[in-house]
Amino acid sequence: MAEQGVLDVNDDNFESEILKAEKPALVDFWAPWCGPCKAIAPVMEELEETYGDSIIFARCNVDNSPNTPAQYSIRAIPTLILFQDGKVADQVVGAVPKSHLEAFVKKVL
């Protein structure tokens, strides 16, 4: 089991932690005022426990880090983007069930 949990990323470290990472990464763009974001947070944690060794699970607070979401044209939260080799492999908008998200991350395993 991975030990790091869901990693908090921001505008400053997004490039080093996600884009230049060796592993693929799933980033949850969220904000504290957003109900559906809160609903999906425990799902991210569960997936991290299962797949954390091969995929980075991260979250980016759009309130504190506006530049990164703007770069990816994010206009709804939660938006979850799967990154591989610094590029967007896929993305999903809205609070989706765990099975849906699990199938999503398996694409880059």
Partner 1 sequence: MPEDTCDVAIIGRGPAGLQAAIHAGGKKAKVIVFGRPERSSLYKAHVANFCCSEKIISGKELLEAGKKQAENFDAIFLEQDITETRSENNRFTLVTENGETFSATTLILAMGIARKKLRVKGEKEFLGRGVSYCVDCDANFYRGMDVAVVGNESAAVSGALTLLGYAKKVYLICRKLTITDVLHEQLNHSDVRIIRDTWVKRIEGSNEVEAVLLTNGDVLKTNGIFVELGAKGAMELAANLGVVFDAETFSFIETNKKQETNIPGLYAVGDITGQPWQIAKAVGEGCVAGMEAAKYAKRLADS
Provide the annotated active-site residues: 34, 37
Residue 109, exposed/middle/buried by CB under 10 A (0-12, 13-18, 19+)?
Answer: exposed
Decide whether 23 or 32 has the Cβ nearer to partner 1. Answer: 32
Q: Which of 3/35 has CB closer to partner 1?
A: 35
Q: For binding to partner 1 (CB under 8 A), which residues are involved?
A: 31, 33-39, 42, 62-63, 69, 73-79, 91, 93-100
Q: Least distance to partner 1 from the beta carbon of 40, Å?
A: 8
Q: How far is CA 18 from CA 33, 36, 100, 108, in A?
A: 24, 23, 22, 14
Residue 16 identity = S
- Measured CA to CA, the distance from residue 99 to residue 69 in angstroms comes to 25
**Residue 31 or 89 having the CB closest to partner 1:** 31
**Smallest distance, partner 1 to C-beta of residue 41, A:** 9
Minimum Å gap between C-beta 20 and partner 1 is 25
Q: Are 33 and 64 in contact (CB under 8 A)?
A: no
